Chain A
Amino acid sequence: MLKINNLHASVEDKSILKGINLEINPGEVHAIMGPNGSGKSTLASVIAGKEDYEVTQGNITFEGNDIDELAAEERAHKGIFLSFQYPVEIPGVSVTNFMKTAINETRKAKGLEDMPAKDMLKLIREKAELLEIDRKFLSRSLNEGFSGGEKKRNEIFQMAMLEPKLAILDETDSGLDIDALRIVANGVNKLKSKDNAVLVITHYQRLLDYIVPDFVHVLYNGKIVKSGTKELAHELEEKGYDWIKEEVNA
């Protein structure tokens, strides 16, 4: 589904990703872990199409097609979704109106008519229930004054609405208490199928107790330096990242 080949990316001439290789197939859950500043969030943003980053070498293909030249919205239309580490507050646009616009613009890009209002309402209600989101919450301005947990739950609600093929969860567990974490993870797991894939980006292992990865990769200094199964995540939790750094620097 997603294939990253020797990806180098920089921002304002500062090189951040230095040769990433990664392949994600339908039905798989991958986790990328790593110390702060290793390039985890950059990788997420580059896949989603943030224009601040320049790809200097290598490429990304999605379902066999090169996506380097595609704008963020075109990648979204193809089924790539990024759950933001810091969701942006947009005063004046309600969650519901935002979702309506996003869904209908995606449909428009696929040559489909707008979703009938009744179906939209039903879908919103259904997905809000999945994330245990109160209906009042949906008429509030997007992310404005939301708690950390509400913001993250709202991200996964958007994911549930858009039903992406590849969901990238960037530090979705940060700022979540245990109840919110369980709701969010439960939402992600219910959306999982053999046809879609999830890439979890996290500093800590704790989210991976709930969203269990098939593969764990360690990102350090712009490169994937180690890959393994979920046991690797436990090892990192126990021993920290220093041994990885030592291994790499040796």
Chain B
Amino acid sequence: MDLKEKLISSFWAFENHLDEDSYLHPIRTDAIKRFEEKGFPSKKEEAWKYTSLNSVLKHDFSVFPKQENAIEYNDVKKYFIHDIDTYKIVFIDGKYSSHLSQTTHDGMDICLMSSALSKPKYRILIENYFNKIAEQESLTSLNTAFSSEGAYIHIPKNKMVAKPIQIIHFSTGNESAIMLQPRNLIVVDENSHVQIIERHQSLTDNQVLTNSVSEVFVNKRAIVDYYKIQNDNLNASLIDNTYIKQKQESICSVHTFSFGGKLTRNNLNFSQQGERINSTLKGVTIIGDKQHVDHNTLVHHVEPNCESHQDYKGIFGDSATGVFNGKIIVDKIAQKTNAFQSNKNILVSDKATINTKPQLEIFADDVKCSHGCTVGQLDESAMFYLRSRGIPEKEAKALLMYAFSNNVLNSVKIPEIKQRINKIIANKLGVNIGFDL
């Protein structure tokens, strides 16, 4: 039985236990039908031309966590941003870990999707927001069909959430191969501000495939800063589908730091529904070995006077492959849009490749849109300059790579995240630069 069949039959076995009158039942059954019809995406589809899931899908994944596994905090502390106080929503093999988590219902809800889906008091919010902006494409549909657990965050209006929220998914390797389908719903109401850090971490070399879906609603004048730290081990793959809907005068930024993992696909969709919205999408990718990272972004400008800024930097070594596919749509009425997109790449090996493709669909006539992509090597004259000052080759290379990704790191607002990323980069490059950028 291949994975698709296994998922579909497992779904029905699971769904038949549920109350058929539940609000979610038709949503889930519709979703599994869409997945059944479409199947996993293949390279024949334009959006998946350069990313093949074949090598990932061949494993015999268990699709439901069988048991609750425990982890000691001290063993996984290093995966947390632990030097500052944060809320934590932690999952182990897809199950919520109350032991590692720190949630709240005090004036806001920072808790679990499973309780939000089952408790009547959340019903209205779920009906208003759940699965409202997630696309109908196959992987997101698959997640919808299986959605039972994840983070549920609702920040009511006029709230500054003082502590960042960490969402961390651990996999313990108790199964030889596991597929996880976390589902997050984040609703930030008028004039509120929240910072979110998301991480997926496998604790062994066993196979992990995560198909994650997050829906983020950034309501009027709200501010959301979202950081995704992707530094998983080489047998873990991640398909991250993040859908963001912004209302007027809201500000939302997503920083994606991709250093680890076997295959990582980031589908990041922004829909701007209101005027004077600001969206920022930034990423640093540093990979080697046979790693693959694919950034697939979409920014849809629907109304006038909005901005979007995309800045993705990639450094590819060994036989690593990268993809950047950035689409910007500016609707006819979205005049005075200011949309900027940049994707710059350095190949440090002859075998590394990057496929980069900007796609601009502009239907308004009074807009400022720019895009640019570059692929190059480390600048030889810069290398000689640094080395002539006594900086050895390896350190000089690292310094140039740091410098290359610096402007993305600069816009990270939580210093501890910046330090953590710097440390990961230094480890990755095998150097100690001796200062933080």
Residues of A participating in the B interface, judged by any CB pair closer than 8 Å: 48-52, 71-73, 75-77, 81-82, 84, 87-88, 90-93, 97-98, 100-106, 109, 114, 158, 162
Contact = CB atoms under 8 A, between A and B. Distances in A.
Interface string B231-264: 0000000000000000000000000000000000
Contacts of A73: 387-393, 396
Interface in B160-216: none
A158 B403 contact: no
B399 interface: yes
B404 A92 contact: yes
A75 B387 CA distance: 9
B390 A102 contact: yes
A106 B386 CA distance: 12
Nearest to A161: B389
Contacts of B23: none
B103 to A, nearest CB: 39
Nearest to B381: A88
B390 A106 contact: yes
Contact of A90 (B385, B407, B435): B385
A100 B435 contact: yes
Contacts of A158: 389
A106 B391 CA distance: 7
A101 B435 contact: yes
Contacts of B30: none
Given A91-B403, A93-B399, A162 B435 contact: no
Contacts of A103: 390
B434 interface: yes
Contacts of B10: none
Q: Which 7 A-B pairs have the closest CB atoms?
A: A92-B403, A92-B406, A76-B390, A72-B387, A106-B390, A102-B389, A88-B385
B400 A90 contact: yes
Nearest to A80: B388
A93 B242 CA distance: 33
Contact of A76 (B387, B407, B434): B387
* Dominant secondary structure of chain A at its interface with chain B: helix
A100 B391 CA distance: 10
B274 to A, nearest CB: 35
A77 B434 contact: no
A90 B397 CA distance: 12
Contact of A105 (B392, B404, B407): B392
B384, B402, B433 pick with most chain A CB within 10 angstroms? B384
Contacts of B390: 73, 76-77, 102-103, 105-106, 109, 162
B388 A76 contact: yes
Given A73-B390, A101-B391, A87 B433 contact: no
A33 B102 CA distance: 72
B395 A101 contact: yes
Contacts of A51: 384
A104 B399 CA distance: 14
A147 B164 CA distance: 43
A76 B389 contact: yes
B385 A105 contact: no
B407 A92 contact: yes
| Chain B interface helix/strand/loop/mixed | helix
B434 A100 contact: yes
Nearest to A141: B403
A50 B389 contact: no
Contacts of B407: 91-92
Nearest to A51: B384
Contacts of B402: 92-93
B382 interface: yes
Contacts of B400: 90
Given A51-B384, A76-B387, A102-B389, A114 B434 contact: yes
Contacts of B399: 90, 93, 98, 101
Nearest to A86: B381
B124 to A, nearest CB: 48
A75 B404 CA distance: 27
B379 interface: yes
Nearest to B385: A88
Contact of B385 (A52, A87, A162): A87
A88 B387 contact: no
Contacts of A102: 386, 389-391
A90 B437 CA distance: 13
Given A102-B386, A102-B390, 14 more contacts: A48-B388, A51-B384, A72-B387, A73-B389, A73-B391, A73-B392, A84-B388, A87-B385, A90-B403, A91-B407, A92-B406, A97-B435, A102-B391, A109-B390
Interface in B352-403: 379-382, 384-393, 395-396, 399-400, 402-403
A91 B379 CA distance: 12
Contacts of A98: 386, 389, 399
Residue of B385, B390, B407 contacting most chain A CB atoms (<10 Å): B390
Nearest to A45: B384
B317 to A, nearest CB: 19
Nearest to B403: A92
Nearest to A97: B435
B236 to A, nearest CB: 30
B404 to A, nearest CB: 7
Contacts of B434: 100-101, 104, 114
Contacts of A77: 390
Given A71-B393, A88-B381, A91-B403, A97 B437 contact: yes
30 contacts: A48-B384, A48-B388, A49-B388, A50-B388, A51-B384, A52-B380, A71-B387, A71-B392, A71-B393, A72-B387, A73-B387, A73-B393, A75-B388, A76-B387, A76-B388, A90-B382, A90-B400, A92-B403, A92-B404, A97-B437, A98-B386, A100-B434, A100-B435, A101-B395, A101-B433, A101-B434, A101-B435, A103-B390, A106-B390, A162-B389
B257 to A, nearest CB: 16
A162 B390 CA distance: 9
Contacts of A114: 434
A118 to B, nearest CB: 15
B430 to A, nearest CB: 15
